[in-house]
Structure 1
Amino acid sequence: MNAPVQITEKAQKEIKDIIDNKKIPKGYGLRVGVKGGGCGVSFILGFDKEKENDQSYDVDGIPVYIQKREMMFLIGKEVDFYEGADARGFVFVDQPKE
Protein backbone atom coordinates (compact mmCIF):
# COMPACT_ATOMS: atom_id res chain seq x y z
CA MET A 1 0.00 0.00 0.00
CA ASN A 2 1.33 3.43 -0.92
CA ALA A 3 1.71 6.02 1.81
CA PRO A 4 -0.86 8.84 1.62
CA VAL A 5 2.06 11.28 2.02
CA GLN A 6 4.83 11.25 -0.54
CA ILE A 7 8.41 12.02 0.50
CA THR A 8 10.71 13.53 -2.12
CA GLU A 9 14.15 12.04 -2.75
CA LYS A 10 15.77 15.15 -1.26
CA ALA A 11 13.69 14.80 1.93
CA GLN A 12 14.40 11.04 2.10
CA LYS A 13 18.14 11.71 1.93
CA GLU A 14 17.90 14.29 4.73
CA ILE A 15 15.79 11.93 6.90
CA LYS A 16 18.31 9.11 6.42
CA ASP A 17 21.16 11.49 7.32
CA ILE A 18 19.31 12.47 10.52
CA ILE A 19 18.71 8.81 11.42
CA ASP A 20 22.43 8.05 10.97
CA ASN A 21 23.88 11.22 12.52
CA LYS A 22 21.49 11.56 15.47
CA LYS A 23 21.64 7.82 16.16
CA ILE A 24 17.86 7.32 16.11
CA PRO A 25 17.30 3.95 17.89
CA LYS A 26 16.14 0.81 16.07
CA GLY A 27 12.38 0.43 16.25
CA TYR A 28 11.77 4.14 15.67
CA GLY A 29 10.34 5.52 12.47
CA LEU A 30 9.28 8.83 10.99
CA ARG A 31 6.04 10.08 12.54
CA VAL A 32 4.05 12.23 10.12
CA GLY A 33 1.09 13.93 11.70
CA VAL A 34 -0.99 16.99 12.34
CA LYS A 35 -1.50 19.28 15.29
CA GLY A 36 -4.75 21.17 15.70
CA GLY A 37 -4.76 24.93 16.00
CA GLY A 38 -7.07 27.91 16.00
CA CYS A 39 -7.35 28.20 12.23
CA GLY A 40 -6.78 24.67 11.02
CA VAL A 41 -3.93 22.20 11.38
CA SER A 42 -0.15 22.29 11.28
CA PHE A 43 1.88 19.40 9.97
CA ILE A 44 4.51 17.74 12.15
CA LEU A 45 7.45 15.39 11.66
CA GLY A 46 9.40 13.53 14.30
CA PHE A 47 10.78 10.15 15.26
CA ASP A 48 8.65 7.81 17.34
CA LYS A 49 7.80 4.17 17.96
CA GLU A 50 4.81 2.65 16.22
CA LYS A 51 1.57 3.04 18.20
CA GLU A 52 -1.61 1.00 18.30
CA ASN A 53 -3.71 3.12 15.91
CA ASP A 54 -0.95 3.77 13.39
CA GLN A 55 -0.89 2.95 9.73
CA SER A 56 2.68 2.04 8.87
CA TYR A 57 4.43 2.36 5.52
CA ASP A 58 7.90 1.80 4.16
CA VAL A 59 9.23 4.65 2.04
CA ASP A 60 12.55 3.58 0.52
CA GLY A 61 13.64 1.89 3.75
CA ILE A 62 12.25 4.58 6.06
CA PRO A 63 9.47 3.32 8.36
CA VAL A 64 6.66 5.92 8.35
CA TYR A 65 3.88 6.02 10.96
CA ILE A 66 0.62 7.94 10.64
CA GLN A 67 -2.29 7.90 13.09
CA LYS A 68 -5.44 6.69 11.32
CA ARG A 69 -7.47 9.68 12.53
CA GLU A 70 -4.97 12.10 10.93
CA MET A 71 -4.91 10.38 7.56
CA MET A 72 -7.53 12.61 5.90
CA PHE A 73 -5.44 15.74 6.54
CA LEU A 74 -2.34 14.20 4.97
CA ILE A 75 -3.69 12.66 1.76
CA GLY A 76 -2.27 14.49 -1.23
CA LYS A 77 0.60 16.10 0.70
CA GLU A 78 4.28 15.76 -0.05
CA VAL A 79 7.21 16.21 2.33
CA ASP A 80 10.12 18.03 0.73
CA PHE A 81 13.34 19.52 2.05
CA TYR A 82 13.92 23.19 1.31
CA GLU A 83 17.38 24.73 1.31
CA GLY A 84 17.61 28.41 0.53
CA ALA A 85 19.39 31.56 1.63
CA ASP A 86 16.50 32.43 3.93
CA ALA A 87 15.87 29.05 5.58
CA ARG A 88 16.32 25.31 5.44
CA GLY A 89 14.04 22.55 6.64
CA PHE A 90 11.21 20.20 5.86
CA VAL A 91 8.09 21.58 4.20
CA PHE A 92 4.69 20.10 3.40
CA VAL A 93 3.37 20.94 -0.04
CA ASP A 94 0.50 19.70 -2.19
CA GLN A 95 1.53 16.81 -4.42
CA PRO A 96 1.95 17.84 -8.04
CA LYS A 97 -1.02 16.96 -10.25
CA GLU A 98 -0.26 14.41 -12.93
Structure 2
Amino acid sequence: MAVTITENASKELQRFKENSDYSADSVLRIGIVSGGCSGFQYDFKFVEPNEINEENDTISEQHGVKVVVDKKSSLFLDGTTVDYYEGLDKRGFTFDNPNAVKSCGCGSSFSA
Protein backbone atom coordinates (compact mmCIF):
# COMPACT_ATOMS: atom_id res chain seq x y z
CA MET A 1 0.00 0.00 0.00
CA ALA A 2 1.49 3.29 -1.10
CA VAL A 3 -0.10 5.55 1.52
CA THR A 4 -1.32 4.85 5.05
CA ILE A 5 -3.89 7.06 6.75
CA THR A 6 -3.78 7.03 10.55
CA GLU A 7 -6.95 6.63 12.57
CA ASN A 8 -6.57 10.19 13.85
CA ALA A 9 -6.29 11.55 10.28
CA SER A 10 -9.29 9.47 9.22
CA LYS A 11 -11.45 10.95 11.95
CA GLU A 12 -10.53 14.49 10.87
CA LEU A 13 -11.11 13.68 7.20
CA GLN A 14 -14.55 12.25 7.97
CA ARG A 15 -15.42 15.31 10.08
CA PHE A 16 -14.27 17.64 7.29
CA LYS A 17 -16.22 15.72 4.64
CA GLU A 18 -19.42 15.76 6.74
CA ASN A 19 -19.14 19.54 7.25
CA SER A 20 -18.47 20.26 3.56
CA ASP A 21 -20.44 19.99 0.33
CA TYR A 22 -18.84 16.69 -0.72
CA SER A 23 -21.11 13.77 -1.53
CA ALA A 24 -21.19 10.77 0.77
CA ASP A 25 -19.54 8.74 -2.04
CA SER A 26 -16.56 11.06 -2.53
CA VAL A 27 -13.10 9.57 -2.01
CA LEU A 28 -9.79 11.04 -0.89
CA ARG A 29 -7.27 11.41 -3.71
CA ILE A 30 -3.65 11.70 -2.61
CA GLY A 31 -0.99 12.44 -5.18
CA ILE A 32 1.87 14.69 -6.14
CA VAL A 33 2.18 17.58 -8.55
CA SER A 34 5.23 19.53 -9.70
CA GLY A 35 5.83 22.69 -7.74
CA GLY A 36 6.61 24.03 -4.32
CA CYS A 37 9.98 25.12 -3.06
CA SER A 38 11.37 21.55 -3.06
CA GLY A 39 10.15 20.21 -6.43
CA PHE A 40 6.94 18.30 -5.66
CA GLN A 41 3.82 19.23 -3.72
CA TYR A 42 1.32 16.91 -2.11
CA ASP A 43 -2.08 16.95 -3.80
CA PHE A 44 -4.73 16.09 -1.21
CA LYS A 45 -8.42 16.45 -2.07
CA PHE A 46 -11.80 14.74 -2.19
CA VAL A 47 -13.05 13.65 -5.63
CA GLU A 48 -16.19 11.99 -6.91
CA PRO A 49 -16.14 8.27 -7.84
CA ASN A 50 -16.48 9.07 -11.57
CA GLU A 51 -12.99 10.67 -11.38
CA ILE A 52 -11.36 7.32 -10.55
CA ASN A 53 -9.57 5.42 -13.29
CA GLU A 54 -9.40 1.79 -12.18
CA GLU A 55 -6.55 1.06 -14.61
CA ASN A 56 -4.40 3.91 -13.29
CA ASP A 57 -5.50 4.22 -9.65
CA THR A 58 -5.04 2.10 -6.55
CA ILE A 59 -8.04 2.18 -4.23
CA SER A 60 -8.03 1.24 -0.56
CA GLU A 61 -10.23 1.83 2.44
CA GLN A 62 -8.60 2.81 5.72
CA HIS A 63 -10.50 3.51 8.93
CA GLY A 64 -13.67 4.22 6.94
CA VAL A 65 -12.03 6.54 4.38
CA LYS A 66 -11.67 5.46 0.74
CA VAL A 67 -8.24 6.50 -0.55
CA VAL A 68 -7.13 6.70 -4.20
CA VAL A 69 -3.51 7.06 -5.37
CA ASP A 70 -2.49 7.14 -9.04
CA LYS A 71 0.40 4.93 -10.22
CA LYS A 72 2.83 7.79 -10.90
CA SER A 73 2.28 9.33 -7.47
CA SER A 74 2.57 5.97 -5.73
CA LEU A 75 6.20 5.75 -6.88
CA PHE A 76 6.99 8.86 -4.82
CA LEU A 77 4.56 8.16 -1.97
CA ASP A 78 5.23 4.48 -1.27
CA GLY A 79 5.41 4.05 2.51
CA THR A 80 4.02 7.53 3.29
CA THR A 81 1.91 7.97 6.42
CA VAL A 82 -0.66 10.76 6.62
CA ASP A 83 -1.48 11.85 10.16
CA TYR A 84 -3.39 14.70 11.75
CA TYR A 85 -1.70 16.78 14.42
CA GLU A 86 -3.52 19.12 16.75
CA GLY A 87 -1.54 20.99 19.36
CA LEU A 88 -0.95 24.43 20.80
CA ASP A 89 1.80 25.20 18.30
CA LYS A 90 0.14 23.96 15.09
CA ARG A 91 -2.76 22.02 13.64
CA GLY A 92 -3.09 20.10 10.39
CA PHE A 93 -2.24 17.08 8.30
CA THR A 94 1.33 15.82 8.22
CA PHE A 95 3.05 13.62 5.64
CA ASP A 96 5.80 11.26 6.79
CA ASN A 97 7.34 10.31 3.44
CA PRO A 98 10.38 7.98 3.58
CA ASN A 99 11.14 8.82 -0.08
CA ALA A 100 11.58 12.54 0.56
CA VAL A 101 15.25 13.49 0.35
CA LYS A 102 14.52 17.09 1.29
CA SER A 103 11.39 18.84 2.56
CA CYS A 104 10.45 22.47 2.87
CA GLY A 105 9.85 24.10 6.24
CA CYS A 106 6.07 24.03 5.89
CA GLY A 107 6.02 20.30 5.05
CA SER A 108 3.87 20.66 1.94
CA SER A 109 6.59 20.06 -0.66
CA PHE A 110 9.52 17.69 -1.03
CA SER A 111 12.16 16.40 -3.40
CA ALA A 112 12.84 12.74 -4.03
TM-score bucket (shorter structure):
0.7 to 0.9
The 3 A distance-change label for structure 1 pair 69 and 94 is closer
Number of residue pairs aligned between Structure 1 and Structure 2: 93
Match in the other structure for 1:17: 15
Aligned to 1:51: 52
In the alignment, structure 1 segments of 5+ residues that lack a partner are: none
Identical positions, percent: 35
Task: Report how far residue 88 of structure 1 moved.
Answer: 0.9
Q: What does residue 30 of structure 1 align with?
A: 28
State the one-letter code of the partner of 1:80: D
Preserved contact between residue 7 and residue 63 of structure 2 (Cα < 8 Å) = no
Q: Structure 1 94/69 Cα, relative in aligned 2: closer, same or farther at 3 Å? A: closer
Q: Which residue of 2 is the match for residue 86 of structure 1?
A: 89
- Measure, in 2, the Cα distance between the counterparts of 1:63 and 1:39: 28
RMSD: 1.8
Moved more, 46-55 or 4-13: 46-55
Shift of 1:39: 3.3
Letter of the structure 1 residue corresponding to residue 8 of structure 2: K
What TM-score, normalized by structure 1, do the two folds share? 0.81
Q: How far, CA to CA, are the matches of 2:85 and 2:96 in structure 1?
A: 11
Report the equivalent of 1:76: 79
User: Shift of the alpha carbon at 1:51?
Assistant: 2.3
Contact 2:30 2:44 in 1 (8 A): yes
Residue 23 of structure 1, CA deviation: 4.1
